[in-house]
Structure 1
Amino acid sequence: EHLKDASGRALLHGYVRDRRERHPKLWEAFRDCVRLLARFRETHLDYADRYIHQQHQRSASNPTGVGTGGTPFMAYLKKHLEETERFLHE
């Protein structure tokens, strides 16, 4: 049985993974997409680090350690990159 999202739909990864032997081109296309997503997330993390996180904080009302929503964005972006990269090691 596939993992399901909150609405009960099967997640794409499990669906494609379970069919990789019968449909190797589908599996490779999926992995190519995940590689591209990982590259995007890595670039996004790098830009966020370089242009936001490493900048000197100029005022208390504009902290560089949290994003616009008040989240610790560096940890958040790194977590998403690591989760994406985990799919590439199967």
Structure 2
Amino acid sequence: MGLKVNMYSAKTTSSSYSLDIETLSIEFAIGTICTVIAIAGYQSQLLLIFIPFLIIAIACFSLISYNIYQYFSDKKNCQGSSTKKSD
């Protein structure tokens, strides 16, 4: 009695950067929540709440802007290289 085994090896994938909307939405939600908590900490003059949540909010919004910048930068480079190849 023979046993058939399917072997799935690692496939080559494109290394181009893709904008993951799920990651951006999660980072935006976390950044928004941390911003609201930081504002509440600032209004109640609690630096123990204000400073850490402000740092997290800044980090989240920085990551969002970096991801968007990287996406458009890669898209621009991809279009530039495709026009050079066709010439």
Range of TM-score over shorter length: 0.3 to 0.5
TM-score where L is the length of structure 1: 0.41
Q: Which has the higher contact order (CA 8 A, sep 6+)?
A: 2
Bigger Rg over Cα: 2
TM-score where L is the length of structure 2: 0.42
